[in-house]
Chains A and B, each alone.
Chain A
Amino acid sequence: DVKVTQSSRYLVKRTGEKVFLECVQDMDHENMFWYRQDPGLGLRLIYFSYDVKMKEKGDIPEGYSVSREKKERFSLILESASTNQTSMYLCASSGSSKNIQYFGAGTRLSVL
């Protein structure tokens, strides 16, 4: 089974802090994704990576950056956290069946 692991289930940070959300997948998938999920808005794509060091902006990249130095790891970075970034963050990966994504359990981030 594909396993996508997000480093934290819950995270509390203060406004202005730099925040790192880590995601690791164990299936050698080429593609990795970061979404945020908010009530009434569904899942929205933040960034997508299709290879090491490659990234593409999604629907809502503002305020975020990403890093993919190794194939199995995709990091989401909030350079200066703000309260409107309080949300559930979901990481996903996909392989040869590229439109089928496997999701992690999510990280619930609260920015105070």
Chain B
Amino acid sequence: LAKTTQPISMDSYEGQEVNITCSHNNIATNDYITWYQQFPSQGPRFIIQGYKTKVTNEVASLFIPADRKSSTLSLPRVSLSDTAVYYCLVGDIWMVTGGGNKLTFGTGTQLKVEL
């Protein structure tokens, strides 16, 4: 079971880059690393996904070292609207079948962005 650990909270200011790290020491070979964003009273929303090395999209970058035991979500130039809880999910849906590894969400990181 790939248990994940994230910081409980982080504070930042508008315009800064924010890096949130997730530790997943027991990650399995088939596991993907996926990050979600959640605002109050809403379901989580997909941000980015990776397997190894670096992935970048229009909103974030994801850095994964060679051993894959951690990953870092990087949010460039945050704004007030980025204030949310960020979840790291490690797992592979197909491993849920047959009683294999379960999809594991971390407890999330509350990011607060101020002016």
Task: Give the interface of A toward B (CB within 8 A).
Answer: 4, 31, 33, 35, 40-45, 48, 50, 56-59, 90, 92, 94, 97-106
Contacts and interface: CB of A to CB of B under 8 A. Distances in A.
Contacts, number: 66
A101 B105 contact: no
Interface of B: 32, 34, 36, 41-46, 49, 87, 91-94, 96-99, 102-108
- B interface majority secondary structure: mixed
Given A43-B44, A92-B43, A31 B93 contact: yes
A97 B46 CA distance: 12
Given A40-B107, A99-B32, A106 B43 contact: yes
Contacts of A42: 87, 105-108
Contacts of B46: 100-102
Contact of A99 (B43, B45, B93, B105): B93
Contacts of A40: 107
A48 B102 CA distance: 10
A70 to B, nearest CB: 20
